[in-house]
Amino acid sequence: MANAQQTEHVGLARVLGPAHVWALGVGIVLVGEYMGWNFAVGKGGAYAALMACWFAGILYTCVAMIDSEVTSTVAAAGGQYTQAKHIVGPLMAFNVGLYLVFAYTMLEAANAITVGFLVDTVATMTGHEGGLDQRPFIILAIMFLAWLNYRGVLATLTFNLVITAIAFTAVIILFLATSGIFTTSPLQHKDLMSGPAALPYGWLGVLAAMHFGLWYYLGIEGTTQAAEEVRSPARSLPFGTLAGVMTLAIAATLTWYVSSGLMPWEYLGQAGVPLFDAARLSGSTFLMVLLGIGTLFATLASANGCINDASRAWFAMGRDRYLPGWFGAVHPRYRTPYRAIIFLVPIALIFALGAPIDQVITFSILSGLLEYTFMPLNIILFRKKWPLESIKRGYEHPFHPLPAYVLLGLCGITFFAVFLGYGTQLVAMIAFYIVVSLWFHFWRYRFVNRGAQFTMPWPKPRGY
């Protein structure tokens, strides 16, 4: 008999720990404390932005608890896409996969725009007349981080861990230096937030601010994308995700406190890099340099994590043949979904170079919001089909189904808030997802290996 040639299946490498999960989740989101959140101030004033921050904190706490339970059980690349595939069905899974890819790719583009803006701001401050061309720095940032992701997930997220920790520490130092604990505080909350400045547009402004309130936390759910690459999913994913939400709640509150005490709401509501501006207004050169570095590191960490998460979702859809199977390849040496990484680079560049940052942020928020609306349905069906005693879970979220209903209600409020300011974009994005759903149903699903797509060794669902 002729010797049969045997080929080894190459999969993603399990090399990550809880700290890497924390770095992935917080690294993606911490840039929201350095830029973007302040557009909520422009919508309704400083107090409205604070209320939006805390309401969004409740929303994302529900997201983190729901995600931690399901992902510690469905430990596979693709995160919420894989959850939808096993729990709800293929059409929902396809849409959720696209929500993930668009949310992270748009966020990556927003981060690259911020890198270019920051470099231009520093050049102007140092006397460079007319600033610099931002486009080369935008391209360089995306290309460098894509190369880093191509070379391996351990190096990628170790890099994220270091620069995210530095960026978070910078926020803490800025607060301690300006709060009056050690020296006289330069903050002027009483003067800047009194009278009409308290709520310039009334309670309608508070509702409108909910749109950008999500930016404080948008992306923490990306920790689920590491499920197939962590050494102990049942322990690492819940710990990293829940610790990440607590970290972001602290950073968001401190960021609001310092920024609203140094800048009037009219300027803060349209500032490009509000924390860097706050450091400049503090009068300390050390703080200005530190927060400049923190802003740069936060944007790089976020873009880095976005490339990681978007490529894993795209890779998982390719592996299941929801997209062409060519995208489901793993690099034989670096053990990364290299084709998915390369394919998404030009898409990020198109939006980073050709769209205004508030529009890019809005597209990211809308895709994320659609994904969060799916989560309550997901966890309710998961508990109904596979009760607690039927499958061992790494984490069981408390008070079910209350978090699911709270999340659904907050999503509804936020959809209305987005409609107030960006109704055209909301309608256009929903129409886009309806069109691609029809394409998937009538054309693409015929290529899916319908038996192989369900990979979890679970018992038969209750009621089936």
Q: Are 55 and 40 in contact (CB under 8 A)?
A: no
The fold adopted by the segment(s) 21-447 is: Amino acid/polyamine transporter I (1.20.1740)
* Contact in structure between 235 and 394 (CB atoms under 8 Å): yes
Q: Which residue has the higher pLDDT, 76 or 433?
A: 433
pLDDT of residue 6: 40
pLDDT of residue 303: 95
Decide: 231 and 17 in contact? Cβ < 8 Å. Answer: yes
- Mean model confidence pLDDT for the chain: 90
Burial of 214 (0-12, 13-18, 19+ CB in 10 A): buried
pLDDT tens digit string along 22-34? 999 999 999 989 9
Q: Which residue has the higher pLDDT, 458 or 254?
A: 254
Q: Give the contacts of 344 (CB within 8 A, at least 6 positions apart).
A: 101, 105, 307, 310, 311, 314
User: Are 64 and 21 contacting, i.e. CB atoms less than 8 angstroms apart?
Assistant: no
Reported as a single tens digit per residue, the pLDDT across 111-146 is: 999 899 888 888 887 777 766 889 999 999 999 999
Residue with tokens 């999340």: 407
CA separation for the pair 310, 305 (Å, rounded): 9
Please list the alpha-helical segments (H only) found in 179-264. Answer: 189-192, 202-213, 233-262
| The pLDDT value given to residue 333 | 93
**pLDDT more than 70, % of the chain:** 97
pLDDT of residue 130: 64
Secondary element (H or E) of residue 311: helix 285-319
CA 392 to the chain's CA centroid: 28
**Given this model, what pLDDT does residue 7 score?**
40
pLDDT value, residue 180? 86
* The predicted structure's pLDDT at residue 365: 87
Evaluate if residue 304 carries a pLDDT over 80: yes
Where does the pLDDT of residue 418 fall: very low under 50, low under 70, confident under 90, or very high at 90 and above? confident
pLDDT of res. 9: 58
* Integer Cα distance of 385 and 464 in angstroms: 9
Distance separating alpha carbons of residues 213 and 206, to the nearest angstrom: 10
Give just the sign of the alpha carbon dihedral 120, 121, 123, 127.
Answer: positive
Question: Domain segments of the chain: what residues?
Answer: 21-447
- CA torsion through residues 374, 375, 377, 381, sign: positive
**CB 32 within 8 Å of CB 215:** yes
pLDDT level of residue 290 (50, 70, 90 thresholds)? very high
Residue 150 has a pLDDT of: 96
Q: CA–CA separation, 54 vs 252, rounded Å?
A: 9
Q: What is the maximum span of the chain, computed from C-alpha positions, in angstroms? A: 90
The rounded distance, in Å, linking the Cα atoms of 157 and 163 is 10
| Beta-bridge partner residues of 16 | 230
The residues near 28 (Cβ < 8 Å, ≥ 6 apart) are 104, 107, 219, 220, 222, 301, 302, 305, 306, 309
Within 10 A of 128 (CB to CB), how many other CB atoms are there? 11
Locate 177 and state its tokens: 């230096």
Question: What's the CA angle centered on 245, arms 403 and 211, to 5 degrees?
Answer: 75
Contacts of 356 (CB under 8 A, 6+ apart): none
DSSP result, 356-420: -HHHHHHHHHHHHHHHHHHHHHHHHHHHHHS-TTTS--S---SSTTHHHHHHHHHHHHHHHHHHH
| Beta-carbon count within 10 A of 124 CB | 13
Angstrom distance (rounded) from CA 344 to CA 337: 11
Question: Tokens in use for 94?
Answer: 């396809």
SS3 string of 68-116? HHHHCCCCCCCCHHHHHHHHCCHHHHHHHHHHHHHHHHHHHHHHHHHHH
Q: What is the pLDDT of residue 453?
A: 76
User: Long-range contacts for 325-332 (Cβ within 8 Å, ≥24 apart)?
Assistant: 330/10, 330/11, 330/12, 331/10, 331/150, 332/10
Of 161-170, 197-206, 310-319, 337-346, the least confident: 197-206
Q: Is the pLDDT of residue 4 over 60?
A: no
In which band, very low, low, confident or very high, does the pLDDT at 301 lie, cut at 50, 70 and 90?
A: very high
pLDDT at residue 213 is higher than 90: no
- How confident is residue 402, by pLDDT bands cut at 50, 70 and 90? very high
User: Could you say which DSSP state residue 16 is in?
Assistant: B
Closest CA to 101 of 300, 306, 304: 306
Tell me the residue length of the chain.
464
The yes-or-no verdict on residue 343 having pLDDT over 80 is yes
Q: pLDDT tens-digit profile of 180-190? A: 888 888 999 98
What is each CA distance from 119 to 106, 168, 389, in whole angstroms? 20, 20, 55
